[in-house]
Structures are given as structure tokens and as C-alpha cells.
Structure 1
Amino acid sequence: MRTGSEPTTARSALRMRFWLSVWGLIWAIAGTVGFALAGRPGWAAACGVLWLVVTVDMAVILRHIRQGPHFQPGPDIPPYRPPEHRRP
């Protein structure tokens, strides 16, 4: 919900999220391989699931980076009214 107090030049830190995901991906791969070689299948599976989650997150981040900037309402657009809370 837009409140009208957002900065006009606000941007998401997508590139920072991307590089943090790369770091997490490296550790997830290393953990999967390391635990598999050490004979710890449970921990290897946990790192494998983390590897999958990080890969999906990276795909979403890259998709958002490729989309580029989106339209943001200017200062002449009034803020949205907050939803009215109805009590039962």
C-alpha cells in the first residue's frame, strides 16, 4: 500500500541480493558435496534443499533486474487511503 511517504528515488538492492545469493549458492554447493563425501546424507539433503531455494531466489532476482525500473507515481499523485478496518 502506498502511503505517500516513500522516497521518490527508492530502489531495491537487487544487485546486493544477487551477490549474497551467489555467496549462499557457493556455500550450499560446498555443503552438499562435503556432507555427501563425509557420509552424512541428511545434512547433504538439507544443503541440497538450500541449494534449490537459493537457485530459485537467484532466478527471481535476475528476472527483476532484467525487467528494469518500473513506473512509480510522482509527487502529484495523492497517497492511497488506508483500508478501513471493520470490526465484526
Structure 2
Amino acid sequence: MSAHNPNNLYGRQVVGEFSYLCTGNGTEENMESCIALAPLAGGGFALRDTKAEGAGQELRGSAAELLNLAEHIRNTVTPDSTV
């Protein structure tokens, strides 16, 4: 396997700033209930959980993967879903 795989999203640099998508009991100021999203060089996105327990961990995916995830969430998560 090559040391540099251009398809490896985890080998790509984050470009630009993370956008914070906050809801629930958090605000952008305290970042307690936020997901952060940033674009990657060459395509794709990095997602971060802003909770202390998730600090430093990222999930990366292509636009198609994230759209598929969003559609699945939209179809399965309801306002009365439990944590």
C-alpha cells in the first residue's frame, strides 16, 4: 500500500474554519451540544463533536457519504427520540 493515498480523507488537511451547528442545551459560546463541520482539501468534510468526551476525535466523509447519513438521520430520528 502506498504511503500517500489521495483517497484517504484522514490524510487531507482541513481548509477554512469549522462551522458550529449548535442545538439543545448548548450555544456556540459554550459548545456543549454542537457538531463542528469543516471542508477538506481535495473534497470531503471533517465532523467534530464539541463535547469534552469527544475532544480531538473526527469523523471524515465525502459529500455523498454525509448526504446519505443526513438522509438516514432525517428518516429515522424524530423529535421524541431519546438519547
Higher RCO, Cα 8 Å, sep 6+:
1
Give TM-score, length-normalised by structure 2: 0.27
When normalised by structure 1's length, the TM-score is 0.26
Q: Which has the larger radius of gyration?
A: 1
If each structure's helix is expressed as a fraction of its own residues, which one has the higher value? 1
